[in-house]
A = this chain, B = another copy of it.
Amino acid sequence: MEDKYKEIPHKTIERLSQYRRALQIYSEKGKNHIFSHEIAALLHITAVQVRRDLMLIGYSGSLRKGYDISDLIMLIGNIIDSPNGQKVAVFGMGDLGTALINYFRGRRDKLQITAGFDISPEKGGHKIAGIYCYSVERAAEIIGKEDIRIGILTVPPDQADDTVRIMVDSGIKGILNYTPAPVEVPDDVYLEEYNMISSIEKVAYYVKEQK
């Protein structure tokens, strides 16, 4: 059963998350069912791709009505969520960290930002955007106590290396790095990096080429 899910391609995992998001928005319009080509249109991919992905997770739609939206949302949840939820910590409670916390709030129930860490004394000890902000010195303590495994890195670039070390030593097993600095992690820590400059440079490149 678990082994079956191991075979799900990385790209499919990414899309499943996107399907769910799109389905949630769609279901708020009062719809109960959706066809593969409708999902495809929302995400700008092909209907075949959608059906193939859903095949991989073993979900069958109704032939005439398409897919049951709430069933599908639930099934995607079974695959990508942890049954008991996972906790997330933010390192660096500046502009971006705060924006992310606000954005995140209320969107996912199995994934919760439960702690923030910052080096600045005036941020420590009280809540920012509803999240308690601790001094980084207490990282190991809090992360251990709360069993946090996932960390978001939004410190200044020159602090990235040191902060990652603290995160890893504290028990973090997955890091989402928003810093432009390349960082190092041990093999057993999953690292995902995002850089806005690369995204916009890609847009710029294809705009340029298109002319």
- Please give the residue numbers on chain A whose beta carbons come within 8 Å of chain B beta carbons, in ascending order: 5-6, 13-14, 17-18, 21-22, 25, 42-44, 79-82, 86, 88, 95-96, 98-100, 102-104, 107-108, 111, 149-150, 152, 157, 173-176, 180-182, 188, 190-192, 194-210
Contacts and interface: CB of A to CB of B under 8 A. Distances in A.
Given A149-B207, A182-B25, A206-B190, A197 B107 contact: yes
B204 A188 contact: no
B199 A22 contact: no
A104 B201 CA distance: 12
Per assembly, the copies of the chain total 2
Contacts of A96: 99, 103
B17 A197 contact: yes
Given A195-B21, A196-B104, A80 B14 contact: no
A21 B98 contact: no
A204 B86 contact: yes
Nearest to A108: B197
A192 B197 CA distance: 12
